[in-house]
Amino acid sequence: MTTVLPQDLEPLPPAAELRRQVARLLVIRGSGHLSDGQRRYPLWELENSTLKRLLAEGVGGVILLGGSAAELRLRSEQLRNWSEQPLLICADVEEGVGQRFEGASWLVPPLAVGRLHRSDPEGALSLARRYGHCTGRQARLLGLNGVLAPVCDVNNNPDNPVINVRAWGETAATASALAAAFVEGAQAEGVLCCAKHFPGHGDTSDDSHLELPRLPHGRERLEAIELPPFRAAMAAGCAAVMTAHLQLDALDPLRPATLSRPVLTGLLRHELGFTGLVITDALVMEAITSRWGAAEAAVLAFEAGSDLILMPADADAAIEGLVEAFSTRRLSLEQLNQSLRRREQALAAAGSRAPAASMAPLEGLGELETPQDQALARELVEMSLNTRGHQDLPPGPGVNLIRLDNSLACPFLPAMAPALLRPAAADYRCCLLDARGPSPWSGDAEAPLALDRLPDGPLFLQLFVRGNPFRGSAGADEPWPAVIRQLLRLGRLAGLTVLGSPYLWEALEPQLPSGIPAGYSPAQMPLAQAALLTRLGLAAGSPAEGGFTD
C-alpha cells in the first residue's frame, strides 16, 4: 500500500536539485553588450563570469539592456549556450526594441497613442496592435522571448515622476483598450508580454526606484481606475503580470504589493483569476532594498505569490534564502512546483506561437527593420506632433539651450542629432543644461534662469523632459513657466520645443505669443526631433544627420 504524505511533509528533493529548481525562479540583469568593459551599469549588470556561473547553476532568466541589435542577437545566443535549460530572455522595450538596442525600431511613447484614442479610437487601436506586432517580431528575431510591456498603469496624475508617457492612457478605458491591443499584436509574434505595474502605479507622486510610494485608495476606486487595464490585458491572454513596489493600506498596511499576499494571492490570483506568471519588479529598487535584505525580500515575494524574482540585489543570497525557506517548510514545495509549471507553460506557449525561424540569421539583420516598421515609426511621430508658429528663428549668433536629465547617458542625443545640428546651421551655439549638473538657477523667482552664465543673443529653448526611473520628477519642480516669462520680457525667446511630457507643454504653450515658433513631441529620439524641427521651419541643412530624416 502507498502512503500519501500530507503536503507539509512532502519529501524534499536532493539539496542540489532543490537549489537548481529555486534558481530557475530568478531573472538576473546582464548587459546587452558582449564585453564586461562595455557594461553601462556595472552595479546591476553582472560580469560574464558570474552570469555564466549562475546560468550553469540553473538560473532561469536574464533581463538585458544596452548594445546594438546585432549584439543582442549574439548575446541571446551566447546566454542560451551557457544554460542547459530554456531561458527567459527579456527586456524593458516599452517603446519598441530600438528604445534599448540601437538598430531596431524606436517608437513613440505609448501615451502618444493614448491621446489619439480621444479623437480616433479605431485608429489608435490599429496603431497599438501594429506597435505590438513590430515590437514582438523584432524582439523574437533578436533572441528575446519576453517583452516587459505593456505598462497598464493609468497616468491620471500629471506629477507622476516615473510613469508619465510610458502609460497607454490617462483614463482606465483608454489604457485598457490599447494595452490589450498591444498584447494581442506582440504575443502573436511569439513572445511573452508582461502587464505592469500591478495593481497600478499611475496615481503616485513618488518613484519606487528611490522610495516607497503610497496609493491611498480603497477597493472601489481601484476597481474603477487601476484594475481595468490589468483585467483587459489578462483577457487578451497576457502571459505575465509584474508587481508594483507601492503601499496600498486598504489592502495591506504592512507590506508593499510586491511582498503582499493579500495583493498577489488574494486579489490577483483569487479575485481576478489570473493563472499566468507573476513577476516581481526589480528587487534591487530602493523601495525594497532600503527595508529588506536580498534573501528575505525574495522569500517574502515568493510567499506573497510571485513566481519569478526579478533582479534581486544579490542572486546567490536570494537563492540561499529561498532554499532555506523551502527546507524549513516556511514555503511549500507545491507552490514551488506550481511556479515552475507556470514558467514552463509560458515559455512553451510563446514558442508555439513563434514562426518556424524564431531568431534571425546574422546575415539577415540588415532587414530587421522592415519598410512597414519604418512607416509605422514615422506615422506615430507625425500624428503625435503639436506645433504653432512657423516663422524662422531670429538671425544668429544665438543660444541653443537644451535641457537634459543627464548628458552622459543620453541615447536620443548623439553627436549628429537634429536638435544639435539644425540650430547650429542657423548659428545657434549649443549649451547643455544637465539636470544633474550645476544649478542653472539664479535664485530670483521672477527671473530664475541665470542668463549671465550663457552667451548673449536670441535663445532657442529645447526641453527634453519626461518621467523616467531615478529622475524623481517629470520636470514639474523646475520653474519653466517663469523662465518663459523671463525670456519674453527680455525679448530673447527665439523658439521652444518640448519633447516628452505633455503636461509641461500644456503649461507653457498658453504663454507664447503667436509669432514664437514652438512645438511638442512626446518622443525624444532623433526621428522625432527631425520631424518637429521641420514643422517649425528648421529643415535639414546637412547630410550629416544621416538616417535621422523626417
Strand order in the sheet with 518-521: 386-388, 518-521, 493-500, 459-465, 398-404, 428-434
Is residue 33 part of the annotated active site? The answer reads no
The catalytic position among 209, 307, 405, 550 is: 209
DSSP characters over 247-264: B-TTT-SSS-GGG-HIII
What stretches of 124-198 adopt beta strand conformation (E)? 146-147, 192-198
Backbone conformation region of residue 153, classed left if phi is above 0, alpha if psi is from -120 to 50, else beta: beta
CA separation, residue 199 to residues 95, 196, 260, 303 (Å): 21, 8, 11, 18
Residue type, 233: A
Q: How many helices (H) and strands (E) does the chain have?
A: 18, 14
Contact assessment for residue 212 and residue 245, using Cβ atoms and an 8 Å cutoff: yes
Residues 69 and 48: their CA atoms lie apart, in Å, by 19
Is residue 133 part of the annotated active site? The answer reads no
Residues 380 and 523: their CA atoms lie apart, in Å, by 9
Choose among 299, 362, 367: nearest CA to 335.
299
- Helix (H) or strand (E) run with residue 137 in it: helix 121-141
Sequence-ordered alpha helix ranges (H) in 208-254: 219-221, 228-235
Residues 206 and 217: their CA atoms lie apart, in Å, by 15
Contact assessment for residue 496 and residue 518, using Cβ atoms and an 8 Å cutoff: yes
The catalytic position among 203, 206, 281, 373 is: 281
CA separation, residue 456 to residues 19, 186, 410, 432 (Å): 66, 50, 27, 15
Choose among 99, 84, 80, 100: nearest CA to 32.
100
Q: Which residues are catalytic?
A: 209, 281
